[in-house]
Amino acid sequence: MSDTLANLLSETRQFPPPAELAAAANVTDAAFEEAKADRLEFWAAQARRLHWHRPFAEILDWSNPPFAKWFADGQLNVAYNCLDRHIEAGRGSKVAIHWEGEPGDTRTITYADLHRTVSQAANALTDLGVTAGDRVAIYMPMIPEAAVAMLACARIGATHSVVFGGFSADALSGRIQDADAKVVITADGGYRRGKPSALKPTVDEAVSRCPSIEKVLVVRRTEQEVDWTDGRDVWWHDVVDSASPEHEAQPFDAEHPLFILYTSGTTAKPKGILHTTGGYLTQASWTTHAVFDLKPDTDVYWCTADIGWVTGHSYIVYGPLSNGATQVMYEGTPDTPHRGRFWEIIEKYKVSILYTAPTAIRTFMKWGDDIPAKFDLSSLRIIGSVGEPINPEAWMWYREHIGHNNAPVVDTWWQTETGAQMISPLPGVTAAKPGSAMGPLPGIAADVIDDGGNSVPPGGGGFLVLREPWPSMLRTIWGDDKRFIETYWSRFGAGAEAGDEWIYFAGDGAKRDDDGHLWLLGRVDDVMLVSGHNISTTEVESALVSHPKVAEAAVVGATDPTTGQAIVAFTILRGDVPEDEAQGDALAQELRNHVAKTLGPIAKPRQIMVVPELPKTRSGKIMRRLLKDVAENRSLGDVTTLQDSSVMDLISSGLKTGKDED
Ligand code: 6R9
């Protein structure tokens, strides 16, 4: 961005929390006051929600920025906090996980069950030679053993590196090599879209290039045939099931490495984001309590993310379990065996808190309102969103059709790097606006600044930054302190030799509205420069999604001889738009005019293309970069409405040769 980011979209709707929910909320306005009065003491109080084997005296050591140490003289065990202390409090028979396999098989796992299995897995890993500080790669389907594996590593102080089960052998071996992992935990396969999908062959291929790997621990899930390397490969049911269920959790330093999680972001080589123990668990745990208003005795919580993403780490494993939650875990896809599967699961388990992603919400919009309408969703009391900006109309659809106009929507902004939620409404406090993440959580210093590093006034747009360290912040990029500083700390502030303050650059554009609320506008790399104006992809996409015929949109700036860049939009229509209308020029014209009317003529797309699908990353984020290639490499007519094939074939051939991205 050469200048500040344009602020085009205005939104006047606002939804205060239901009175009953506000009256009983875990966290009230007081939290903002406390954090404002003493930010460090506020976080220390949240850290004390955990069990410390050795209490900390020091809260934050920021003497060597940007390398933070939180609660550094304290010691704790993450698995003890997620399991043992609930059992000691008499909650061993409470359900921790209602697991739903894609084919319809189920398992009910109590805290006592989970504690036993994690203890056995901890003993088994120890027997396989894993000790504190070793790295363990986890490449698993969404089965309970994935969470068990993570907790078993945490219990013995091994640092896990979970690699999404859809990644290729190249991606897996690269990550294993970078972390120098000793063991891989995997499965024969998992179920996806109605069929078993093998994992072990990918591990075999990856490990053939990873001399550091001594053992491969394999869970039997699908009973597919597997190749076996004697001496290296070990069945989970042989070594874990026979291991002793007695295991005493040892304390580890608060700054002991808990996990590495690779994120590719915008650059090619994935970054191994390092999270440590005490600060990470403090913020993952407190935000689960605050942002989801989680009441462990009555709520049934469900986060639909995969364990391979940070959302699965913080809001399936560490946040909910450290709070003693009862949660649903689902193995498969939302359309298997039918498009109502999510709603069926919510009805079945009476899910009260749902956490999902805008990409899923827009897909449900496309499939039609009639599908969720067939199920009883009245148990839902809080619904959350994460992963991308949520378009105001998608937010409204979510509120109306899933949250029955009564469950607050919490749009939570955060990153793999931040470890836990940073910007979000609080469901019992905030009167939320559709499409806005509203404001920083208590104890978080978020700001929007311009190129010169100045806070933008209300109505202005710019770069999202964090001005103070936070407990669950990344500590570094594994093995690459230099890249850590360059990527996050060198754009503004002391790292850029502009002042004394260390400022974290998130890489996202944002704006502050007239009331001071924050709106995330997508990655700054995606911002379009049209006739000298910086226009965010998010605002144009949201304008398109606000048209009743559009379910999803992706826009890119394509080189243009007159305007520098011109806006090219790819749209997916809602399920009820007839085919001949979808393919006609009239609709494209109507949508272009709709954007011009909503945002102003500067944002009018040059071209609109109707497509059946958009290219997404494995975690569901739109890959605009690919669309941009398409938009720039082909001379498509002025207003082109494309059939499925030509553009999408181009996109998919690009996707096949492209690298894995998360
Ligand atoms: C948790 C997660 C991080 C990037 C982030 C931003 C985008 C996430 C968002 C959001 C707008 C939200 N993002 N949540 N944008 N509103 N509520 O997704 O982590 O996979 O590392 O992605 O996702 O662009 O910078 P990660």
Q: DSSP readout, 589-634?
A: HHHHHHHHHHH-GGG--SEEEE-S---B-TTS-B-HHHHHHHHHHS
The answer to the question of whether 304 is labelled as a binding residue is: no
For residue 636, the model assigns a pLDDT of 38
Ligand 1 centroid distance, CA of 658 (Å):
22
Chain centroid to CA 37: how far?
30
Segments in 329-464 forming alpha helices (H) = 341-349, 358-367, 370-373, 392-397
Q: Is the pLDDT of residue 575 over 90?
A: no
Ligand 1 centroid distance, CA of 621 (Å):
9
Q: Is the alpha carbon torsion for 41, 47, 53, 58 positive or negative?
A: negative
Mean pLDDT, rounded, for 628-651? 53
Q: Is the pLDDT of residue 651 over 80?
A: no
Residues with CB under 6 A from ligand 1: 263, 309-311, 386-389, 411-416, 437, 506-508, 520, 523, 619
* Residue whose structure tokens are 């901890």: 122
Q: For 105-163, write each residue's pLDDT tens digit.
A: 999 999 999 999 999 999 999 999 999 999 999 999 999 999 999 999 999 999 999 99
Chain centroid to CA 290: how far?
17
Question: At 657, is the pLDDT very low, low, confident or very high (cuts 50, 70, 90)?
Answer: very low
The answer to the question of whether 550 is labelled as a binding residue is: yes
For residue 572, the model assigns a pLDDT of 93
The answer to the question of whether 601 is labelled as a binding residue is: no
Q: Is the pLDDT of residue 653 over 90?
A: no
- If you take atom 1 of ligand 1, which residue's CA is the nearest one? 415
Ligand 1 centroid distance, CA of 506 (Å):
10
Domains in the chain (CATH in brackets) are 1-77+281-289+323-525 (3.40.50.12780), 531-652 (3.30.300.30)
Ligand 1 centroid distance, CA of 413 (Å):
6
Q: Which of 271, 388, 477 to mutate to test the pocket of ligand 1 (most atoms within 8 A of CB)?
A: 388
Q: Is the pLDDT of residue 1 over 60?
A: no
Q: For 297-315, write each residue's pLDDT tens digit.
A: 999 999 999 999 999 999 9
Q: For 462-502, write each residue's pLDDT tens digit.
A: 999 999 999 999 999 999 999 999 999 999 999 999 999 99
Q: Is the pLDDT of residue 654 over 50?
A: no
Cβ atoms 250, 157 nearer than 8 A: yes
Q: For 343-370, write each residue's pLDDT tens digit.
A: 999 999 999 999 999 999 999 999 999 9
For residue 5, the model assigns a pLDDT of 86
The answer to the question of whether 102 is labelled as a binding residue is: no
CA of 507, closest atom in ligand 1: 25
Ligand 1 centroid distance, CA of 387 (Å):
4
Q: Is the pLDDT of residue 257 over 80?
A: yes
Q: Is the pLDDT of residue 661 over 80?
A: no
Question: At 212, is the pLDDT very low, low, confident or very high (cuts 50, 70, 90)?
Answer: very high
Mean pLDDT, rounded, for 541-569? 95
Phi, psi of 553 (to 5 degrees): -145, 150
In the chain the first and final C-alpha atoms are separated, in Å, by 24
Q: Is the alpha carbon torsion for 149, 155, 161, 162 positive or negative?
A: positive
Q: What percent of the chain shows pLDDT beyond 90?
A: 87
Q: For 389-443, write each residue's pLDDT tens digit.
A: 999 999 999 999 999 999 999 999 999 999 999 999 999 999 999 999 999 999 9
CA of 416, closest atom in ligand 1: 21
Output the pTM of the full model: 0.95
